[in-house]
Structure 1
């Protein structure tokens, strides 16, 4: 293991007993020829992520040394499983269907998406290879290790424009394919009904419900922000519910002409891995990760989510151009895969974006303070479980400075009107 143990999530420092030789033999038998004789020589297990990378899973890296028909081999794999230690994480996630959903994505949905792309002459890879998955006796997914292929999670800096555009291009292709399938075979996505705001275990968590309360308190005590207090006091009782309605719109009250797709649901920089050229450090590819909270909903929700979970302050100013870039890829992909219907126009997508503006305000008042803190190596467990700690995050000078800049813009754009 490299790095200090404080760099890793506590539940990834202790290997579960069931991750043993017998388990890894199952994994390898699923990868190699069924008639091969496989013998495991050694297994080394370590954490596969850093604090702040994620919260909804426990992730390990295993370096496997083994023999196949007497030939020595090595393979590095990533294991994603559910939390087993009693505590907040296990309690919050225990009754969700996030693993069932992600296994479905890797074994059914994404392979179909890739076949549609291949049939149109597009070799884009949408997923890391899944080597093994199971729901019993333990929920686990085993992937090829992208680090071994030269990919990395970008840490200690924000993403640059080229990296962001690559992520939007990947998302646009995914959205376009799912848009076509959902119109032609709406039952295909029946298992993807609930986004994060429709999962009561998560939506009712204090970190979701207390953001607007802490934000209004901040406005009240900050003279430079007093003017915005009436707007957000009015919004306070209904902000979270409006986000729930947004995520459930396709199932509960679909709008004519809206663009509904299979949304990623958690489209942020730590759910991506990038491959760069060693010599120039130029980005050459991106892989999206973590499909646990995918759902069918407005395509703009992933885009709105990206404003505060993917872009830095400078790229947020360029969002209209980034949206246009996404739209061109979306429209071209629909044409390439043989969509015969009428494609949504850019203006329709912009109108839809404005109709779901409360999601952007929710992210501003609830998620953005957390992102500022995570950039300073804050403890995610504290963020999720401590009301006092979350309140303290609203004292960030950088956050207040950003609010002084962005709230006038929201006022001028009409975001603060009914």
Structure 2
């Protein structure tokens, strides 16, 4: 049995080899069901399916197992995007090569660090796919994206990001650069027209809403002047500066790509990152702005920003030392300098991904509406930029960015 989003080739046979290799005493499949694995507004970039299988074991007993299957949208605009940047190939490279290598670096240093779910190969899949263990049975779940992460959750995520960044920096220092496929993310020159086209309509709608935000008189002219230049400026910032402290950024580090496991008292036991589709080599400012601006609680977002950077830096230095990083350690001041230098990334996150994070989970929260200039798309984008929750966040962030000089383009 399956719901309407499930392609007809997603069957029990597809998972036979995985079941044989991962389920001890596997005999046969008793029942198979694939269903939607994420709620509206929780996942834009792909179709997520949860595959539930009841298996019979050799001793006659049965066992429930489940997997997550990620598939591409069939929309023409999405297929076009896939032709420009193969996010599935990137993510498979990350899961099959990069993530295990990072975990092995820590193991060799005598420290157990796990970054995410196990991934599996499926024979006879008829489209691009990513197959992963389902983390829910292990008690992993997302925090509430609409409320934002509190200090305890934020500190744990920053520790995990620091562990990841430290390992990727050590890898480059010892073995040289990563394969080309995982280095650039979306920022390849041939993608610029597509990105411009996707972002133009949203930029117009943001500008329209911006003119209604409390206190906009202080920054609206700068926001208006920035609009035609912002993509070009972002591409400039995507160039890697060898004088920065550079790492392989996760690239999409918002709260729904972070899974938390809790103990029986509700304390955080473990943090995993998922969705390694848009990894990007460069300054740590990318992941830091992406995460802190998009996914933290409103009351902490700016008041604790500098404190959170120190938490990150303390963890970064600790793990660079554990992994015996051979180059000079970045100072806290170095990290802050990069945050000023790449400040426009904070603006990009606040006017892009943060709006998607804070929008209500309605059926209109879809990839199509996120980028479309159809009446439904325009309506959804108005909801993103105009809902009371987003307004509260953006009305404190824009003055903060203004005061940091981010809205001044040279």
> Which residue of 211, 230, 236 maps to 1:239?
230
Query: Which piece of structure 1 moves more, 58-67 or 112-121?
Result: 58-67
In the aligned structure 2, how far is the partner of 1:205 from the partner of 1:233? Answer: 16
In the aligned structure 2, how far is the partner of 1:141 from the partner of 1:382? Answer: 24
Unaligned runs of 5+ in 2: none
Contact 2:214 2:395 in 1 (8 A): no
Q: Where do residues 3-402 of structure 1 align in structure 2 (5 Å cutoff)? A: 13-31=4-22, 38-83=27-72, 85-93=74-82, 95-133=84-122, 137-155=126-144, 157-198=147-188, 200=191, 204=195, 206-220=197-211, 224-247=215-238, 249-250=239-240, 254-256=241-243, 258-278=244-264, 280-316=265-301, 317-374=303-360, 379-380=365-366, 381-385=368-372, 386-391=377-382, 393-402=384-393
Deviations 1:295-318 (A, max 9, x none): 211111000111332112122120
Deviation at 1:220, TM superposition (A): 4.2
In the aligned structure 1, how far is the partner of 2:214 from the partner of 2:55? Answer: 65
In the aligned structure 2, how far is the partner of 1:37 from the partner of 1:403? Answer: 53
**Which SS does the other structure have where 1:188 is aligned?**
coil
Deviation at 1:337, TM superposition (A): 0.8
| 1:202/1:377 CA distance change after superposition, 3 Å | farther
In the aligned structure 2, how far is the partner of 1:140 from the partner of 1:372? Answer: 28
In the aligned structure 1, how far is the partner of 2:393 from the partner of 2:130? Answer: 39
In the aligned structure 1, how far is the partner of 2:149 from the partner of 2:362? Answer: 16
Contact 2:14 2:124 in 1 (8 A): no
CA RMSD, 1 decimal: 2.8
In the aligned structure 2, how far is the partner of 1:237 from the partner of 1:259? Answer: 30
**Which SS does the other structure have where 1:50 is aligned?**
coil
In the aligned structure 2, how far is the partner of 1:214 from the partner of 1:14? Answer: 30
Deviation at 1:166, TM superposition (A): 1.0
| 1:282/1:39 CA distance change after superposition, 3 Å | same
Contact 1:212 1:362 in 2 (8 A): no
Deviations 1:187-225 (A, max 9, x none): 334321222344828962655333433333334456731
Query: Which piece of structure 1 moves more, 48-57 or 369-378?
Result: 369-378
Q: What is the number of equivalent residue pairs in this alignment?
A: 401
**Which SS does the other structure have where 2:177 is aligned?**
helix
| 1:180/1:222 CA distance change after superposition, 3 Å | closer
> Which one scores higher on RCO, CA 8 angstroms, separation ≥ 6?
2
In the aligned structure 2, how far is the partner of 1:239 from the partner of 1:201? Answer: 12
**Which SS does the other structure have where 1:407 is aligned?**
helix
**Which SS does the other structure have where 2:183 is aligned?**
coil
Deviation at 1:287, TM superposition (A): 1.0
Contact 1:53 1:270 in 2 (8 A): yes
In the aligned structure 2, how far is the partner of 1:390 from the partner of 1:148? Answer: 35
**Which SS does the other structure have where 1:291 is aligned?**
coil
TM-score normalised by L of structure 2? 0.88
In the aligned structure 2, how far is the partner of 1:397 from the partner of 1:267? Answer: 24
In the aligned structure 2, how far is the partner of 1:398 from the partner of 1:148? Answer: 32
In the aligned structure 2, how far is the partner of 1:14 from the partner of 1:241? Answer: 37
